[in-house]
Amino acid sequence: KQAEQFGFEIFQKSVKIMPHEYTYVKVSFKPQIMAQYAGVFEAIVENGEQNAKTHKLIFDLRGEGALPTLKIDKPRDWFDERTLQLKFPKTRVLKSSVLSILLKNDGMVPASCRFDLNPNENFRFLKESSYTLAPKTYHSFDIEFTPKSPGPKQWSISVCTLLNPYE
């Protein structure tokens, strides 16, 4: 319970180390909010001399909580204040045009996205509809437009960043 609020958890709360030997202690960091976390790791020698240099080991633990976040880099045309628009050129019936949606991960942690797609006979999402972007990378998603009849066509799709309830 304490680790959930604190952000850090130490595995092996107690360990016996023989003289002139060492052991590794695992510390995990699981932030619950977007914030900076700080703590102190302290290892004390039980029944040892009370010498300040040899009685205990102390060092800082620091971490920063971050959420996965993605930005739509392209297209840049807006249909309204909440909706981006991918404008395909005039395309002959049964011919195809392909345009891309470009996502960018500006964040510090990997971010996964998922496109929610409704079936549409005039549009097709090429390749995968979900993907995980490493930090500071881009990924493009291609959409093919093949009109089956003359006239304007429209397809509404949405994208979400997984594990981020705020996007």
- Cis omega (within 30 of 0) for bond into 75: yes
Q: Which amino acid is at 17?
A: I
Q: What is the pTM of this model?
A: 0.68
Residue 155 β-bridge partners: none
- Write down the pLDDT at residue 4: 46
- The beta-strand segments (E) located in the chain are 8-10, 27-29, 36-44, 56-64, 71-74, 77-80, 83-85, 97-105, 111-116, 123-125, 130-133, 137-145, 158-161
Q: What is the pLDDT along the chain (167 residues), one digit of tens a residue?
A: 344 467 888 888 888 888 888 888 898 888 877 788 888 888 888 877 777 777 788 889 998 888 888 999 999 988 888 888 999 999 999 999 999 999 999 988 899 999 999 999 999 999 899 999 999 999 999 999 999 999 999 999 999 999 887 77
Cα-Cα end-to-end distance for the chain: 28
